[in-house]
Amino acid sequence: MSSVFGKARAGSGPQSAPLEVNLAILGRRGAGKSALTVKFLTRRFISEYDPNLEDTYSSEETVDHQPVHLRVMDTADPDTPRNCERYLNWAHAFLVVYSMDSRQSFEDSSSYLELLALHAKETQRSSPALLLGNKLDMAQYRENKEEELIENLEVVTVPSPSPKGLPVKQYAVQSQLPVYEWPDVGSGEYDVGVVASFGRLLSEALILKFPYGMLNVHPSCLPRWRGPAPIIHTVLHGDTITGVTIMQIRPKR
């Protein structure tokens, strides 16, 4: 929890006081925010509740063996984000929900993500935000074709002694994606950056070029096996449980 909700405030009591985490659930009308909130808090799907009511719920959770006092604000904006101050300065983390069977709800989620990106820029404080596709059981009626989700994808690799380049370069060439060799990063305008085993220090200017941030994908359960060879160490130590950590990269200041 502490790494996921990096900005959570510890309670003001003794050391063992639970972490206090405020989570705001955002998204278009009917995306299923209230259903999700009720399902998460009661562990079952309830169809009878007041769906348009905005309310804040409390729950005591245990995450990574730590007690967490979670408050969930189930918002209900009329159509687009309104009076956002009520959650922007309150929440430590945001869940932006869209409904898989509604293209409109998917498109509207970008206004929430843009709002969060703008707020993070203005306050110099970014909070975790997760985009969640709800109503998986309706996925057959999906209006978003997967190939339409990404408009533009380009690849940057580090130089390799092999003339064919690293496997990621070979894959990019085979998939007819534009490839640049570091330090050339192309000149395109991007929304999100993703880095994996890159091994180069990324400048603040480069990180800030991505309005929705830059993610690092690291194949270990950090902080275990931080460093350049996580998979090798996992195998050598015979770990029976491992995972992948996805974290947001912040400029080194």
Instruction: List interacting residues with ligand GTP (CB under 6 A).
Output: 27, 29-35, 47, 51-52, 76, 134-135, 137-138
User: Closest separation between CB of residue 179 and ligand GTP, Å?
Assistant: 40
> Which residues share a beta bridge with 133?
98
| Range 38-61 burial, b when 16+ CB lie within 10 A, else e | bebbeeeeeeeeeeeeeebeeeee
Give the residue with the Cβ less far from ligand GTP, 64 or 137.
137
Applying CB under 5 A, which of residues 34, 102, 220, 234 lies at the interface with Mg ion?
Answer: 34
Q: Are 188 and 152 in contact (CB under 8 A)?
A: yes
- Using CB under 5 A as the binding rule, the residues of this chain from 71 to 100 that contact Mg ion are 76
Backbone angles phi, psi at 82, to 5 degrees: -135, 145
Closest residue to Mg ion using C-beta atoms: 34
User: Closest separation between CB of residue 38 and ligand GTP, Å?
Assistant: 8
Q: Are 178 and 186 in contact (CB under 8 A)?
A: yes
Give the span between the Cα atoms of 128 and 148, in whole angstroms.
25
User: Closest separation between CB of residue 51 and ligand GTP, Å?
Assistant: 3
Give the residue with the Cβ less far from ligand GTP, 69 or 142.
142
Q: What is the dihedral of CA 218, 189, 116, 114, to 10 degrees?
A: -140
Give the residue with the Cβ less far from ligand GTP, 19 or 91.
91
Give the span between the Cα atoms of 79 and 221, in whole angstroms.
39
Q: Are 87 and 74 in contact (CB under 8 A)?
A: no
Give the residue with the Cβ less far from ligand GTP, 80 or 203.
80
Closest residue to ligand GTP using C-beta atoms: 51
Give the residue with the Cβ less far from ligand GTP, 140 or 187.
140
User: Closest separation between CB of residue 53 and ligand GTP, Å?
Assistant: 7
* Residue range at the interface with Mg ion (CB under 5 A); choices 11-19, 31-39, 81-89, 199-207: 31-39
Which residues would be at the binding site for Mg ion (CB under 5 A)? 33-34, 51, 76
